[in-house]
Amino acid sequence: MTISERVEVDIVTAMKAREEHRLTTLRMVKSALKSKEIDKREPLTEAEQAAVLSTLVKQRRESVESFTKGGRPELAEKEQAEIAMIEAYMPQAASDDQVREIVQTAIAHLAASGGGKPGPRDMGAAMKIVQQRILATGLRADGKVVADLVKAELAK
């Protein structure tokens, strides 16, 4: 069952249970997925649906930060609840150890194909390989964490 199908089923469940906040959040997710699908003019792949959800989560995190700075804890809590609901539909998050292992194998691959030890100037190539491998495993990882690990490994 795809992400959008699961959202559809859960919208009906939330309607029956009269869970207003959950219902509005799920409708917002459905709307974002449908909008992206219309822009693309063909059905979204599972990876593209996950990318839309991660964008929504990122927006919510920025809102939480703004509301916290602005002294609006009740709105920050609402956004946090939405983050939790959206993340339930996303692929499992990769642990730091898993990401570190992927980074190390990608850099070893880069060294083998490049003919020498990669340095900081190879950051872009390494990031590209790492992102592809993370997607291939079906996991998700925060781009900032991945970039920090790649930088650390290339600096060695």
Q: Are residues 33 and 64 in the same domain?
A: yes
The count of domains in the chain is 2
Give the residue from 32, 65, 87 where a domain finishes.
Answer: 87
Q: What is the pTM of this model?
A: 0.71
Task: Report pLDDT for 93.
Answer: 79
Q: Range of 129's domain?
A: 96-155
Task: Report pLDDT for 20.
Answer: 95
CB 4 within 8 A of CB 30: yes
Task: Report pLDDT for 41.
Answer: 94
Task: Report pLDDT for 47.
Answer: 79
Tell me the mean pLDDT per 10 residues along the chain, length 156. Answer: 92 96 96 95 88 92 95 95 92 83 86 76 86 81 85 84
- Measured CA distances, 112 to 29, 105, 144 (Å): 43, 10, 26
Give the residue from 87, 114, 135 where a domain finishes.
Answer: 87
Nearest to 110 by CA among 154, 141, 77: 154
